[in-house]
Every structure is written in structure tokens, then in C-alpha cells.
Amino acid sequence: MDKERKANLDRALNPKVIAVVGDKKITDYMWLKSVKDAKAKVYSVQIDENDIPGIEAMGIDNRKSLADIPEQVDYAIIAVPRPVLPFILADCIKENVGAAAAFTSGFAETGEADGIELQERIIKMTSEANFNLVGPNCMCLYHAKVGIRNTADQWIGEGGNIGFMSNSGTHATNFVIRARSNGLYPAKSISMGNSISIDQGDWLEYLGEDPDIEVIGMYIEGTRDGRKFFETLREVAQKKPVVIWKGGQTKEGARAAASHTGHLASDMALWDAMIRQTGAIRVDTQDELMDTMKALLMMKPFTGENMGIIAQTGGQSVLVSDAFGSQELKVPALTEKTHERLRPIVTVVGGSYKNPLDVSGSLTSVERATEMLNGLHDDPNTDIIVMESSIGFIQRRLEKQGQGLDTLIEGLKAFQESSKKPFGVIATWNQNEGELADFRQKVSDAGIAVFPTFQAGAGAIRKVRDYYRKKETLGTK
Amino acid sequence: MSSFTDIRSAARAENRVILTEQESKTVLKAINIPITEPILATNSKEAANISSEMGFPVALKIASQDITHKSDVGGVRLGLDSQEEIVEVFDQMINTVKKEAKGSSIDGITVQPMAPPGGVEVIIGVTRDHQFGPVVMFGLGGIAVEILQDVSFRIAPLTPIDAEEMIKEIKGYKMLTGYRAFKPVNMDKLKDLLLKVSDLAMQESEISEMDLNPVFAYENDVVAADARIILTDN
């Protein structure tokens, strides 16, 4: 992407003036609503007399064409019928709009001749004019701190540090919504759609250079220019973590080939290879994406493999050890010094002061929990500290001290702040699910990584550990 | 020595995209990849003479521009130990292949030294992907690649770290670090081979696919015992 294109894209993502073209009553003015809270002046362009009154009732200045807008438009959202798109695009080019994002669909993605032909026409227009078109067939752009959104349901505000890019509008949209309920703060989410003028490599480069963004995530099905994407990923993954969720994994096997190599080189085998060699992180579900991002953003960096674990009960301590063991992580014996320190506080009969701690009824107060965590933390044999929280069980004991889960979360937060080792919480689906969801939300909001299952926690911790290890390998050789 | 360019031009002139084993190995030899060198014999007497000069045991393989799966048509015999055996096998092989692959042109039979015993069989290959361009594959050879598909890929060009990691990534990696009668193989030579193959794939855009299969990896060396290069269609 050249400097002019990048400057124009910056302008569109930080707009002073937004134009929404073709928004309709029948879709409840979804695009005007998506930008109505933006720190920008919003205009509508609509010629249909049925749709205009609703727009004006929202207090939005409607014009008959882009050319009638008295100010320079930075960002245009286009939701017009397919055959009209080329005309609106011509106006955008003429009026020097920074970028246009087209919700309009029905192009090459249909696989039909009409759509493909129309897409070719648009490609010609945008490339001749060196114009930024997002999509078509997309859910446009999200930028939290300026208030432009893929949908009005999304959170907006300051402090976002995650960049997301997606082949699918649904995943671009949902990422932002779900990330917030996992204590994560998205900064930008790009619905790339058919990516005809700004391709996957361009967006990756753009997010890679964005100083607000600490971690990049993506949902990707394929890329038009794999070589460019590979080379860009190789650079960007050195600067910040890139988490890749690849869809369409079983769509196509290997093609017919005259060699073993050609036969075995399936699409997924090559994506997996690229992810490994560039030092990016592979996830296979949105759940894994969330958990991996939490481990990246909320846990201190780590390359070790030794877990120090608190479990509430014996049954859980077995399962949690199994889960970490299956991810090439260890639950080592603690030193004798730590045993001496923990023995007097893990007193309940049937409990265990050995790693993983089975604290049972001994976790009687937040202060006690902190002592246990510090015991694990100070042991030279541990690298990563995790606490399994069966909340019903804990709550009953804390209540006797006049404490509750909120006090516990404060205690955990204080421990995390003082800790030199990465820390996470696992709150499994083993008791009241509604209460658990609420607890997790509060733990996340406190900035502590909380995982919904042992497998999820172990998987995310391993992926992130492998990321830091690979970074070290690439950095030192 | 003929380079890739000469061999490619000769094949293109004959409208072929699949290079013969001899041609493929010549390309590899030109970039210093160790191979077992095939020498063409057009009759049994010639084959016997070549083999006694080469030293036993040897392998005989049918030389034909039309046949790509030589062993499927009875065109491969390994571990032959004497001139008499060679004379006998030569004519048998010509007859069998004529029957099994009717109408194929036959240039003769190549004689090549057997790779020494005690090596671990691996496969190294290249393919040109529509999205990513040239990619390199590594795996254990023989059954491991055909049935278990225990292979790893990297997008070319490989760095030395890529070469090392793709070797360690396969499930059968322990086979390479010493196992029962097998000595640990020379990792530096194996990595070097991967890097050379990667360079070749990057330089020659007309290579569409390539299998070095099997490559034998030993304590001190590696050697490609068979190879096949396929050119792009245009």
C-alpha cells in the first residue's frame, strides 16, 4: 500500500465527516445508527422519498448526492443496490473520499457471471483511481475510540489495543462484542469482504504499523496474494503477536499431483506451516481466539513450562494436572521449603499442600488464598501460577469471614500486581452456570485472564508459551 | 555439466513436463546434492560392464520418458550382486515393462550404485502452491509418507531455523536421532539439503513439483537415491 493510499485510509478510519449512502427504513437505518455516536459529522445520501423522513427524524442532514455535501467526506458507507455501486463509487473517487466501505453484496462471491463481471468493473475503477474500497460484501469498519462501528451493538470507547481483520462480516462484528465480555478491548475491527482493493496483506501491514494495536487477530479463509501475505506476516509477527483463526479447513483437500509432495500439500497444511514459520499463533475456534488473547494481554510473558496450581478439591486437581500435562506443561513437585510454608495453612484432612494444591476447606479467607498463591509464586520450581475456582465452594467459606467473591477478585488482582510470574484463573462449568458467567466477567474486568475449562486454559497457556519461545528463537539466531 | 536450463529446454523441445530420473538427478548434482548416479545401458552386456566397474550391489531401473511410476510396471530391481544376475534381469525387465506399459518408449536401463545400508529413508519435496508459491516438504520416506502422511511443510525460502524446525516437527523425528540399529543421522547435512532444495525452487520458477524419494540419511552423509522433477505446464 503506497503512502497516499495509507494516508487516505487513516483519514477514513479517523473521519471528521462521514457519509452513509443508501441507508433504509426497512433495515432500521442500521448504518446511520452504527455511526451516530461517532466523533464526526454524519451526512446521509438518499433519494428515496420513503426513506428520507426517518433519516431526518434522527436529526441527520440528508442530501441527494455525495457532491451536495458541503464538506470533504473522509469515510463513506455504501448500502445501495448492486447495479448502483459503480455510480456511487465514481462519486466517491471524484469527491476524494478517503475510503468507501461497501455493504452492497452480489459480486464475485455469488460465483455468477453478472456478479463477477460487475466486480471486475469495480476493480478496474478502484485500481485506476488508486482508491480505497473496503469490501464489497462487508460489514465495514470499526474503530472504538472514534465511534465508527460494524454494528450499533458494539462497544465504543478509549483504550482499545486489539486489531482484528476478518474475511467474514459476522466474525468481524462478533469479535468486538464478545471480546468486551472477556475483558478485552478491541481498537479496530476490519470486515474485509471481497478485499478487491485492499487485500489481506495490506490490512495486516496496516494493523502492524498501528501504534494503538498490541495484538492482531484475524479470521481468514484465504488470501488473494499468499506470497505477499506470508512476507508481511513474517515481518509483523516479529513486532506483535498475530493470532490466526483459519476457516474453511476441510473445504478442499490436496489437488491431483504427480508427486507425493504436491499430493500432500493441502491448503490447511500450508497455512499451518506458514503460521509456524512466521511465529504467528494458530487457533481453531472463536473460544480459542478469546482465551489466547487473554493469555497474551493479561498474563506476563513467559517461556517456562512449570505450573503452580491451586485447585479447590481433589477431583479438580487430578483433571487440571491432566489438562496441563496434555499440553506439554508440567506440574512439578515444590521444594521442601514451600511444603513447610504451606503445610500449616492447607490443614484440612484429605487436602494436599503438594502441587497441585488441593485446598478444600482450607481456603477460608482472601488472606489465606493470597498466602497460598504467594507460596506457589515464591517456589523456584514454578513458572506460571493458576488458580482453579469452583466459586460455590469458595463462596460458602468466604461468607463466614464476611467476605465474598468481589473481595476475592480484589485479592487476586493484588496478587497479580505483585507477582513476577504470569497468573490465570480457571473457572470451569461445573456449578451454577449463570453465576460462573458473572464471576468470569468480573475477573476479566479486573484484568485477570480467566478460562472457562481446564483444556481451554492449558491450550491457551501452551499456545502463548510457544509464541514467546518462538520469538526468542527468531530473535537470537 | 548440464544445468537445469539445458535439461528444461531439452524436455520442452520434446513437449515433456516430467523429467526422467537421470535428468532430475543431473539437476540435483549440479547444485551439489549427493545422488546415486544412474548410467544408461542399452543392452545387457553394457549393463554388466558398467556394474562391475561401479562395484556391486547395484540397482537397475527402466529408463523411459513415458513411465513415471517405474516400480509399478516392473521397472525397478534393487541389490543385484553379479554380472550374471544383471544380464538375466536386464532382458526380463525389458520384456516385463513392454507388457505392463504397452507403447511406452524405452531408452534402456540405468545402472546405479545401491545406497549403502543403515540409512534412514526420508522424503524431501517441492510443490508450487497457487496461493503461496514454492513450498518445501520433509517427511520420513516409504510407508511413513504414503500411509501415515507424517510430513511437515514450510513456505520457501527456508531459513536455517525453518529447516531445523520442519525436521523436528514430524512425529517420527526420533527415527532420526538414533533408534535400535540406526545411528543418529547427520542433521547439518539434512538441513543443508533442505536449504539447497529451497534455493532451487526459488530460483527455477519452471519447477512445478519435485520429489527426492527416497533420500537416505546416514551418520555422516545424505544421498538421494531417486528423484523426479516436474515442470510447470506452460
A173-210 in b/e form (b: 16+ CB < 10 A) is bbbbebbbebbbbbbbbbbbbbbbbbbbbbbbbbbbeb
Residue A251 has pLDDT above 80, yes or no: no
**CATH number for the segment(s) A138-298:** 3.40.50.261
Shortest Cα distance, chain B CAs vs residue A193, angstroms: 18
B138, B220: one domain: yes
Q: Which residue ranges make up each domain of chain A? A: 1-137, 138-298, 300-476
Q: Is residue B10 assigned to a domain?
A: no
pLDDT, tens only, A18-68:
999 999 999 999 999 999 999 999 999 999 999 999 999 999 999 999 999
Residue A252 has pLDDT above 90, yes or no: no
Q: Which chain B residues are within 8 Å of A261, Cβ to Cβ? A: 123, 125-127, 137, 209-211
User: Does A430 or A57 have the greater pLDDT score?
Assistant: A57
CB contact under 8 A, A258 and B68: yes
Domains A138-298 and A300-476 share a fold: yes
Written in H, E and C, the secondary structure of chain B is CCCHHHHHHHHHHCCCCECCHHHHHHHHHHCCCCECCCEEECCHHHHHHHHHHHCCCEEEEEECCCCCCHHHHCCEEEEECCHHHHHHHHHHHHHHHHHHCCCCCCCEEEEEECCCCCCEEEEEEEEEECCCEEEEEEEECCHHHHHHCCEEEEECCCCHHHHHHHHHHCHHHHHHCCECCECCCCHHHHHHHHHHHHHHHHHCCCEEEEEEEEEEECCCCEEECCEEEEECCC
Q: Does A260 touch chain B (CB under 8 A)?
A: yes
Q: Which chain B residues are within 8 Å of A265, Cβ to Cβ? A: 127, 129, 135, 137, 153
CB contact under 8 A, B123 and A260: yes
**Percent of chain B scored above 70 by pLDDT?**
99
pLDDT at position A54: 97
When CB atoms are compared, the residue of A265, A473, A474 closest to B137 is A265
Phi (first) and psi of residue A139, to 5 degrees: -105, 25
pTM equals 0.94
Which residues, 6 or more positions from A341, have their beta carbon under 8 angstroms from its beta carbon? A375, A378
Would you state the cell numbers that stand for residue A41, as one nine-digit string? 459529522
Q: Which chain A residues are within 8 Å of B210, Cβ to Cβ? A: 259, 261
Q: Which chain B residues are within 8 Å of A471, Cβ to Cβ? A: none
B91, B159: one domain: no
B62, B44: one domain: yes
Q: Which chain A residues are within 8 Å of B200, Cβ to Cβ? A: none
B60, B97: one domain: yes
When CB atoms are compared, the residue of B127, B149, B154 closest to A259 is B127
Least confident of A148-152, A224-228, A380-384, A472-476: A472-476
Q: Is residue B94 assigned to a domain?
A: yes
Q: Is residue B2 assigned to a domain?
A: no
CATH code for the domain of B168: 3.30.470.20
pLDDT, tens only, A184-208:
999 999 999 999 999 999 999 999 9
CB contact under 8 A, A261 and B127: yes
**CATH number for the segment(s) A300-476:** 3.40.50.261
Q: Using 50, 70 and 90 to split pLDDT, how confident is the model at A256? A: low
Shortest Cα distance, chain B CAs vs residue A469, angstroms: 13
Q: Using 50, 70 and 90 to split pLDDT, how confident is the model at A351? A: confident
B106, B188: one domain: no
Q: Which chain A residues are within 8 Å of B130, Cβ to Cβ? A: 226
Q: Is residue B50 assigned to a domain?
A: yes
ipTM of the complex: 0.91
- DSSP, collapsed to helix, strand or coil, labels residue A181 as coil
User: Does A245 or A475 have the greater pLDDT score?
Assistant: A245
Cis-peptide, bond into residue A15, ω within 30° of zero: no
pLDDT, tens only, A63-105:
999 999 999 999 999 999 999 999 999 999 999 999 999 999 9
pLDDT at position B136: 98
CB contact under 8 A, A227 and B133: yes
Structural domain of B57: 37-113
Which of B127, B148, B165, B195 should one mutate to test binding to chain A, selecting the residue with the greatest count of A CBs within 10 A?
B127
When CB atoms are compared, the residue of B146, B155, B210 closest to A259 is B210
B90, B43: one domain: yes
pLDDT, tens only, A103-124:
999 999 999 999 999 999 999 9
pLDDT at position B1: 53
Residue A477 has pLDDT above 60, yes or no: no
pLDDT at position A431: 79
- CB-based contact B79:B20 (threshold 8 Å): no
CATH code for the domain of B70: 3.30.1490.20
When CB atoms are compared, the residue of B139, B155, B162 closest to A270 is B155
pLDDT at position A254: 46
pLDDT at position A349: 79
Please report the number of interchain residue pairs, chain A to chain B, with beta-carbon separation below 8 angstroms: 85
Residue A250 has pLDDT above 70, yes or no: no
Does domain A1-137 fall into CATH 3.40.50.720? yes
**What is the number of domains present in chain B?**
2
Specify the residue for cell string 469479535. A175
CB contact under 8 A, B127 and A230: no
- Of A349, A367, A366, the C-alpha closest to A358 is A349
Q: Which chain B residues are within 8 Å of A260, Cβ to Cβ? A: 123, 125, 137, 145-146, 211, 213
Q: Which residues of chain B have pLDDT under 50?
A: none
When CB atoms are compared, the residue of A223, A272, A473 closest to B131 is A223
Shortest Cα distance, chain B CAs vs residue A95, angstroms: 36
B189, B227: one domain: yes
Residues A414-435: what's their mean pLDDT?
Answer: 93
Q: Which chain B residues are within 8 Å of A270, Cβ to Cβ? A: 129, 131-132, 135, 153, 155
Q: Does A268 touch chain B (CB under 8 A)?
A: no
Q: Is residue B84 assigned to a domain?
A: yes
User: Which of B113, B129, B161 marks a domain boundary?
Assistant: B113
B129, B227: one domain: yes
- A window 393-432, beta carbon within 8 A of B: none
Interface residues from chain B to A (CB-CB < 8 Å)? 18, 68, 123, 125-127, 129-133, 135, 137, 139, 145-146, 149, 151-155, 159-162, 165-166, 169, 208-211, 213, 228, 230
B105, B125: one domain: no
pLDDT at position B68: 78
User: Which of B113, B144, B160 marks a domain boundary?
Assistant: B113
CB contact under 8 A, B135 and A270: yes
Q: Which chain B residues are within 8 Å of A277, Cβ to Cβ? A: 154-155, 159, 162, 165
Q: Which chain A residues are within 8 Å of B125, Cβ to Cβ? A: 259-262
User: Which of B113, B136, B161 marks a domain boundary?
Assistant: B113
- CB-based contact B156:B135 (threshold 8 Å): yes
CB contact under 8 A, A261 and B165: no
Residue A276 has pLDDT above 70, yes or no: yes
B205, B185: one domain: yes
User: Does B212 or A477 have the greater pLDDT score?
Assistant: B212
- Closest residue, chain B, to A234 (C-alpha): B155
Q: Is residue B168 assigned to a domain?
A: yes
pLDDT at position B186: 97
CB contact under 8 A, A272 and B153: yes
Q: Is residue B11 assigned to a domain?
A: no
Q: Is residue B170 assigned to a domain?
A: yes
Shortest Cα distance, chain A CAs vs residue B154, angstroms: 5
- Whole-number mean pLDDT of chain A? 94
pLDDT at position A39: 96
- CB-based contact A179:A171 (threshold 8 Å): no
Q: Which chain B residues are within 8 Å of A232, Cβ to Cβ? A: none
Please give the Cα distance from B97 to B104 (Å, whole number). 9
Q: Using 50, 70 and 90 to split pLDDT, how confident is the model at A253? A: very low
pLDDT at position A11: 98
